C-alpha cells in the first residue's frame, strides 16, 4: 500500500464522518496539509529554504494548518478538522498519531537547535492542547483538551490541566485507537478542590459542635 493509501485508510478508520477515501482526499484539510508538507520538507532538506517556506505558507493559507518545513512527521498522522494547528521547525511526530484542531507543538523562547517537542507513536493530542519545549511525549499517551504540557510525558500517560499533570489511574495502554475519550477523564485539580471542600465542611461541622 502506498503512503497516501495508508494515510487515507487511517483517516477513514478514525473519523466516523468519513464516507469514502475520495471524499477524504478531496475535502479534508489535514490530508492536504500533509501532502503540502511532503513537498515543503523535501525542498527544505535539499537547501531550497525559501521555496519550502513559501510552499508551507501556501498550505497554511489554504488549510489553516501551519507545519514548518523542517518538522519531521511519521506515517499515518491524522489531523482532525485541523484549523489552528501549529507544528514547529524541530518538532518530531511518530507514527499513528491523532491531532485535533488548535493543537500547538511549539517552543518556549528564541533558543536555537532542538526547541520543539518529540511526539511518540500512537499519541492523541486533543483540541486546544499546547505542548511547549524540547522534550518527549511518550508512546500511547493522551493529552486532554486545552492541556498545557511543559515537561516530559511518560509512555501510556494521560495529561490534564494547565500546567498538565498525569491523571492517577488513567493509562492509555495499546494506543488511542478505539478509546478516544475526552469527556470521562478526571481533572486532578478538580479532585483536589473537591477534597478541600470536603475538609472545610468537616472543620465547620467540628467547630459547630464545639460551639454548642
Average pLDDT over residues 161-174: 69
E strand spans, the chain: 66-67, 72-73, 78-79, 86-87, 92-93, 98-99, 104-106, 118-119, 124-125, 130-132, 136-137, 142-143, 148-149, 157-160, 165-171
Of 150, 121, 125, the residue nearest 138 (C-alpha): 121
What's the distance, CA 117 to chain centroid? Answer: 11
pLDDT value for 83: 95
pLDDT value for 47: 95
Angle at which helix 29-45 crosses helix 49-63, to 10 degrees, equals 170
- State the pLDDT confidence band at 203, using cuts at 50, 70 and 90: confident
pLDDT of 105 strictly over 90? yes
pLDDT of 70 strictly over 60? yes
pLDDT of 112 strictly over 70? yes
pLDDT of 4 strictly over 60? yes
Query: For the chain, what is the mean pLDDT?
Result: 88
Does residue 212 or residue 104 have the better pLDDT?
A: 104
pLDDT of 80 strictly over 80? yes
**What grid cell was written down for 126?**
486533543
pLDDT value for 188: 67
- How do residues 23-62 score in pLDDT, each as one tens digit? 999 999 999 999 999 999 999 999 999 999 999 999 999 9
Query: Rounded distance, CA 47 to CA 108, Å?
Result: 26
Phi, psi of 119 (to 5 degrees): -100, 130
Number of residues that this document lists for the chain: 212
- State the pLDDT confidence band at 199, using cuts at 50, 70 and 90: confident
pTM of the model: 0.81
Average pLDDT over residues 172-189: 56
**Which structural domains are found in the chain, ordered by start?**
3-210 (2.160.10.10)
Does residue 112 or residue 117 have the better pLDDT?
A: 117
Name, of 10-24, 84-98, 153-167, the range with top average pLDDT: 84-98
Query: Rounded distance, CA 134 to CA 98, Å?
Result: 20
What's the distance, CA 135 to chain centroid? Answer: 14
With a CB cutoff of 8 Å and minimum separation 6, the contacts of 189 are 161, 165
pLDDT value for 155: 93
Q: How far is CA 112 from CA 7, 43, 151, 177, in A?
A: 32, 21, 18, 35
Amino acid at each position: 500500500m502506498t503512503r497516501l493509501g495508508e494515510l487515507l485508510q487511517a483517516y477513514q478508520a478514525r473519523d466516523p464522518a468519513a464516507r469514502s477515501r475520495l471524499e477524504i482526499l478531496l475535502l479534508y484539510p489535514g490530508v492536504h496539509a500533509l501532502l503540502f508538507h511532503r513537498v515543503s520538507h523535501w525542498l527544505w532538506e535539499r537547501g531550497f529554504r525559501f521555496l519550502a517556506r513559501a510552499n508551507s505558507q501556501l498550505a497554511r493559507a489554504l488549510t489553516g494548518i501551519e507545519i514548518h518545513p523542517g518538522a519531521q512527521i511519521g506515517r499515518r498522522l491524522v489531523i482532525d478538522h485541523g484549523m489552528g494547528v501549529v507544528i514547529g521547525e524541530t518538532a518530531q511526530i511518530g507514527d499513528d498519531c491523532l491531532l485535533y484542531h488548535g493543537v500547538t507543538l511549539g517552543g518556549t523562547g528564541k533558543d536555537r537547535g532542538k526547541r520543539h517537542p518529540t511526539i511518540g507513536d500512537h499519541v492523541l493530542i486533543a483540541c486546544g492542547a499546547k505542548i511547549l519545549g524540547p522534550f518527549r511525549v511518550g508512546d500511547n499517551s493522551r493529552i486532554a483538551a486545552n492541556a498545557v504540557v511543559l515537561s516530559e510525558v511518560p509512555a501510556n500517560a494521560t495529561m490534564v490541566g494547565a500546567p498538565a499533570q498525569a491523571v492517577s489511574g488513567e493509562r492509555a495502554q495499546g494506543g488511542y485507537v478505539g478509546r478516544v475519550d475526552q469527556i470521562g477523564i478526571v481533572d486532578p485539580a478538580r479532585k483536589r478542590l473537591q477534597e478541600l471542600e470536603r475538609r472545610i465542611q468537616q472543620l465547620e461541622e467540628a467547630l459547630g459542635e464545639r460551639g454548642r
